Amino acid sequence: MSLEYRRNSVRPSTVYTPEWGSKTIAYLRTPTLYEYFRTYTPHGLVSQGIWVVANVMDATGQKYNLFRQYKSMETAMTVSSLEVKGLDATSKALFKPGEMYLGRCWHEIDEERGLIEVKPYLANPNAFSVTIRPQHVDWKDANGRVDLAFDALGPALEYYVPGLIEDGMYRSEPMRVRGAIDGTPVSGYGVIDAAWGAPGCDWVQSKIFALLEKYWIVWLNVYDDDSTDTGIYCCGTDEFEAAYYCRNGEAMIGRHNHLDVRHAADGFIQSATLQMDDQHFEFTPDARVMQVASMVSWASGKVLNTADKRTPVQSFCWFEYMPK
């Protein structure tokens, strides 16, 4: 069956077969301005969404988990929660329903000023705004209650997953975050992520989300000399896998990796170990992150490089897991 026919015929049942394609081509990339924009079409794929994500902490140690997803013409998903320590506890909502704008958005590029602006369309312009320059993001939300600045910690992880039935591409750019929530100074980590897929296929319908992903870990440690290490690791069905580690701006792609995850009786993450080439890491959970969909869950905690005997002054991690 020809490639052209398969890609233009009715999409088959979403049961994984090798024709979907899972072999993952992962590499480092520093995006240009246009590569953050809604009309960028790598490999002929179209934008499925961009996520601005922050996991930050105030001076008392209280952690906040926030993200906003936006697309070409709308923003339809947000998370805002206060972490409650303890694996038996439930995180608390930070904002009431409606306090983070959902609806149509204005999403335009200004090449003269070298930026992209995303904000409400024909609505209160102060409800939220995301301003992107290469490797820098300013995010304001909930009518000023969120005011965060993101600066890249190194190049982004980008990966391409070709297949006979469907191609997919994803980029994750880890960032150091500083700013304020409700006027309280906070700092921590964040990512600006972006996904591309087949025309007419949303992210939740894409093979990466619906068929391939099982585990997705993103983390940052900050030490007393302000040095950092950060990582990204995702894996799942068949050959799907991408690994990234960055220490003080020096990044690498892991080529020989293994993840071992242990679950508690209720399915929550109990612990995990990760080998990425010659680097070894251990994950320890300390809280549950608010769940917004039945298919995906998140654990908060820390990922430490076992060869580094220093104790971080700040540790952040989102551990996403999806049963298949």
Query: What are the sequence ranges of the domains in the chain?
Result: 3-321
DSSP 12: P
What pLDDT is attached to residue 5?
Answer: 46
pLDDT band at residue 323 using 50, 70 and 90 as cut-offs = low
Q: Average pLDDT, whole number, for the chain?
A: 94
The Cα–Cα gap between 81 and 95 comes to 7
Is the pLDDT at 6 greater than 90, yes or no?
no
Is the pLDDT at 1 greater than 50, yes or no?
no
Alpha carbon dihedral 173, 81, 181, 225, in 10-degree steps, equals: -50
Pairing of strands 250-253, 257-263: unpaired
Among candidate residues 137, 134, 132, 200, the one with its CA nearest the CA of residue 166 = 200
pTM of the model: 0.94
The Cα–Cα gap between 80 and 87 comes to 19
CB atoms within 10 A of CB 295: 12
Strand partners, 192: 52, 173
Residues 292-306 have a mean pLDDT of 86
* Residues recorded for the chain: 324
SS3 211: helix
Q: What is the pLDDT of residues 74-109, one digit of tens each?
A: 999 999 999 999 888 888 999 999 999 999 999 999
**Residue carrying structure tokens 């409606």:** 98
Contacts of 93 (CB under 8 A, 6+ apart): 80, 81, 82, 290
The Cα–Cα gap between 298 and 291 comes to 7
CB 210 within 8 A of CB 188: no
CB < 8 Å & 24+ apart, contacts of 83-87: 83/287, 83/289, 83/300, 84/287, 84/288, 85/286, 85/287, 86/286, 86/287, 87/264, 87/268, 87/285, 87/286, 87/287, 87/288
Residues 219-236 have a mean pLDDT of 97
What pLDDT is attached to residue 256?
Answer: 97
Q: What is the pLDDT of residues 105-140, one digit of tens each?
A: 999 999 999 999 999 998 898 999 999 999 999 999
Helices (H), 133-232: 207
Strand partners, 136: 133, 151
**Listed range (109-113, 220-224, 296-300) with the worst mean pLDDT:** 296-300
The Cα–Cα gap between 283 and 184 comes to 28
